[in-house]
Amino acid sequence: MNFFERQARARRQSTRLVVLLSLAVIAIVAIVDAAVWWLLGPHVVALAWATALTAGTIALGSLYRIATLRGGGDRVARQLGGIPVAEDTRDLHLQRLRNVVEEMAIASGVPVPRIYVLEHEPGINAFAAGYTASDAVVAVTRGTLDRLNRDELQGVVAHEFSHILNGDMRLNVRLMGVLFGILMLGVAGRKVLVHGRHARISLFAALLGLAAVAIIVGSVGTLFARMIKAGVSRSREELADASAVQFTRQTAGLAGALKKIAGMTDGSRLQHRGAAEEVSHMLFGDGLGLRGLFATHPPLLQRIQALEPGFDAAQLTRLQVQWWQSPPDGLGEDAALGLLPAVQALPQAGGSMALDPRTVSAQVAQPHQDDYARAHALVSAIDGGLRAVALHRDSAMPLLLGLLLDDDAGVRGLQHEAIASRLGQASAIEADHLRQSHLRTLHPMLRLPLAALAFPVLRRQTRSTLAAFLDTVHAVVHVDDHVSLFEYCLGRLLNARVRDALAPARHVRFGRRRPGNVKHEFATLLAVVAQAGHPDDPAAARRAYLAGMQRVLPRDHLPYAPPIAGVQALDAVWAPLDALDPLAKQVMVEAITAAASHDGRIRVAESELLRTICGVLHCPLPAALEPAPERLLGAA
């Protein structure tokens, strides 16, 4: 099952969630009506009021909780006591976690998420939360940092990244919201008991009856909520385990983490029981200890055996005895095993490669160990000082603007003025300094990964600052009559990432459009891609365009008409194409790859355009594309 099929599956699960919630609400309303009937008899007005109040309480509770979660993943992490991991941390455990998360984000083609640690949780657990990849957070417990070695930590983080990529996060957050409404009646009943004891005796007796009914109904709601979470969660956890293995290309890390959960006293249980109840369906391991019908995760032994079929309960017992006597030390195991990925050399800056459209579409949000190794190579190749600049709150924006500065001194002077008038002279001077000292000679393949590292710092800025920054980016890109391919790509990606992070609930959806409904948008997209690859050869560009159209609309005959606005013509296609059905997006990725690589090679600028298209349309593509076998080409 690939990314696009998983997205389609997630959309079906959203429909299933609505059905299950509706059945639960109907059952709760029926129980309340039955209680009213028993107390008052067949009183129509009373039954109508009971139905309205019960349904209204559930609806208002759900709407309230959904509204409180509009802040995205940060809100969920802080609710559980999460503490953000600083970009410049000196703690070895936190440095290792940040390195693993950053490399996986770059390997999978998503923005680097915010990282949190639940410092007061000794169990081994983790979760990813948010509406979109742009507002995602990854949180791990202190037990995860202390007990897991790098391979095991990588397996856990890869599991959480699969939830980010598969569309599970948005379903998890919505599930938190709608199930809160079901639990509202029980909460209301307990409040009545607490505050009603000071009332008159006769009134208290009436309130006691109402509270008892509310608590009973609330208990029924809790059972329904747990059943819904369990039904939605278990299969997704199995899929996330499989995706993590596919990502890391080894089972030992993930299996080792699961063994330590099963073998240690604290396991994966959370101390914060109230919050654990609400987020149990989004945790890496079971945070509550529920079993059977209410279990949100498959049994640990079953999960381990899916990774290592020969593992049995007797081996688990021996590990429990071993770790009871000497708890594992993750960093110590790293030192003993030498768990550091090898650094690979980057290809030539002017090189190109052949791509296979199906291979590229298979890479979307489905990274492998090779992608992780390439991401490690990219991050390792970024100068340490430059990386520190990207991770600093005050210098991240000048760095990103420095990437957009032109080599021509006249154009760069106009860009300097645009920055100074909006963000101040100091920002303009720093952007120009970074351009001259570091960015002008930066390997082209490092530009977008460097921007990805800066994004978590960027999203911590205030809304007004971000609005001014995006306005500055637009001005810098459009200061002259020529918008280069890279200028457009980075500007559009920054706009999309910031937009998603500022209002994640508004910009997330599963599309339903078919390719036949967006023919002209496809024609514009493929014409721009073809023209970018063959700027001086209209005949070759036309052949590339037709190769792409053959993939997506083989029966239609839309002539090649390169837009006068060039790459800027893409501004009109993003919204319609982002509304495509997930499986239609798969065909789209294959079509643009076929157009870009029609001449047998794809250059860095074209790969950045391909990655921009996928990023804006929420199809995360790894930072290093997989070349067609035996077809890597030399310098162009």
Catalytic residues: 160
CB 58 within 8 A of CB 182: yes
Start-to-end Cα distance in the chain:
36
Rg (the chain; Cα; Å): 27
Choose among 457, 367, 459, 447: nearest CA to 132: 459
- Write the DSSP symbol of residue 503: S
Longest CA span, the chain: 91
**Rounded-to-integer distance, Cα 102 and Cα 541, Å:** 37
Neighbours of 304 (CB within 10 A): 24
Strands 137-141 and 114-118, sheet pairing: parallel
**Rounded-to-integer distance, Cα 594 and Cα 525, Å:** 13
Vertex 616: Cα angle to 610 and 618 (nearest 5): 100
Number of H-type helices and E-type strands within the chain:
27, 6
Give 136: exposed, middle or buried? Use CB within 10 Å, 0-12, 13-18, 19+. Answer: buried
**472 torsion bin: left (phi>0), alpha (psi -120 to 50), beta (else):** alpha
Neighbours of 630 (CB within 10 A): 6
Neighbours of 515 (CB within 10 A): 20
Angle between helices 463-477 and 409-423 (to 10 degrees): 160
CA distances from 360 to 126, 197, 345, 619 (A): 30, 66, 22, 11
**Rounded-to-integer distance, Cα 354 and Cα 603, Å:** 9
**Rounded-to-integer distance, Cα 513 and Cα 585, Å:** 10
Single-letter code of the amino acid located at 559 = P
**DSSP H or E stretch at residue 83:** strand 83-84
**Rounded-to-integer distance, Cα 593 and Cα 529, Å:** 9
Tokens 């960015």 belong to 439
Choose among 630, 623, 520: nearest CA to 572: 520
Token pair belonging to 424 = 């101040």
**Rounded-to-integer distance, Cα 127 and Cα 121, Å:** 13
**Quick one: three-class SS letters along 591-636?**
HHHHHHCCCCCECHHHHHHHHHHHHHCCCCCCCCCCCCCCCEEEEC
Single-letter code of the amino acid located at 519 = K
Which residues pair with residue 129 across a beta bridge? 137
The SS3 call for residue 508 is: coil
Which positions ≥6 away from 29 have C-beta within 8 Å? Answer: 50, 51, 54, 55
CA distances from 478 to 406, 482, 565, 568 (A): 11, 7, 12, 10
